[in-house]
A and B are shown apart, each in its own frame.
Chain A
Amino acid sequence: MMGLLLFYFAAAVTVAGAVGVVVLPNPLYSVLSLIASFLGLAGLYLSLNAEFIAVVQVVVYAGAIMVLFLFVVMLLDMRREERIPLRLPVQKFAGAILGVGIFTILVKVFSSDVLLTGAKGTFTAERVSEMGNTQVIGRLLLTDYLLPLQAMGVLLFVGVIGAVVLAKRRTG
């Protein structure tokens, strides 16, 4: 019962935040709305017993990536965009039709009967909570997923260098 309530509350916050990103004209409000959506997503991850992912969501996504967006929004002068109307009404209508269409297709796929056909793994909720979610993820990262971990290290390294080189102001 409490789990179900947590799900509905977190899902409501997530979807409301997502709608806010698309609807609000001021880009600063969009960023704040996305932060709220990510916090709702963290609640959803918690209800799925994914504690490590929930915390990483808050710390990395809401705490770092969104702060980066905030910096960029406040660095660039966005005030002009508010006075220009979003789009022609017919374009907004077409966008809404596209969204509804994609949602219908996805829901049709998700309500089919053959969803959980994969072989079940060995990490039941009880076994994971007994070992600790973070411990299990750490162990798997350093054994089965070692290569992707190293690749992601290289990717982040390249990303940092790229961002610094791109945004540096050229002198002379």
Chain B
Amino acid sequence: MAPLEHYLIVSALLFSIGVVGVVVRRNAIVVVMSIELMLNAGNLAFVTFARFLDSMDGQLVVFFVMGVAAAEAAVGLAILILVYRNRETTDVDELKLLRL
């Protein structure tokens, strides 16, 4: 078990890489994957603090976050499939009907 800051730096790295992925990539599926990456960065921080504070609350929160992420990924991908059926593209630059 490494010191606390090491785990938190890994979590921060994962989160910032996820942010860059959401902002830079044009493929909508890769954007959803980057969101999952950010969720996992939060999970890592929760479990780290759960260990270093002798608590199980962090691990239970991670359990629920994973459940929510599963439901969100399923519905999000279903929506993506519908969008692709209608517009033949998953490029986020093309899907701009709701933009100002």
Contact = CB atoms under 8 A, between A and B. Distances in A.
Contacts of A21: 17, 21, 30, 33-34, 37
Interface string A25-59: 00100110010011001001101111011001100
Interface in A85-121: 86-87, 91-92, 95-96, 98-100, 102-103, 106-107, 110-111, 115-116, 118-121
B35 to A, nearest CB: 11
Interface in B1-49: 1-2, 4-21, 23-27, 29-30, 32-34, 36-37, 40, 43-44, 47-49
Interface in A142-172: 145, 148, 152, 155-156, 158-160, 162-163, 166-167
Interface residues of A, number: 84
B82 interface: yes
Interface of B is mostly: helix
Nearest to B48: A48
Judged by DSSP, the binding face of A is helix
Interface of A: 3-4, 7-8, 11, 14-15, 18-19, 21-22, 27, 30-31, 34, 37-38, 41, 44-45, 47-50, 52-53, 56-57, 60-61, 64-65, 68-69, 72-73, 75-76, 78, 80-81, 84, 86-87, 91-92, 95-96, 98-100, 102-103, 106-107, 110-111, 115-116, 118-125, 128, 136-137, 140-141, 145, 148, 152, 155-156, 158-160, 162-163, 166-167
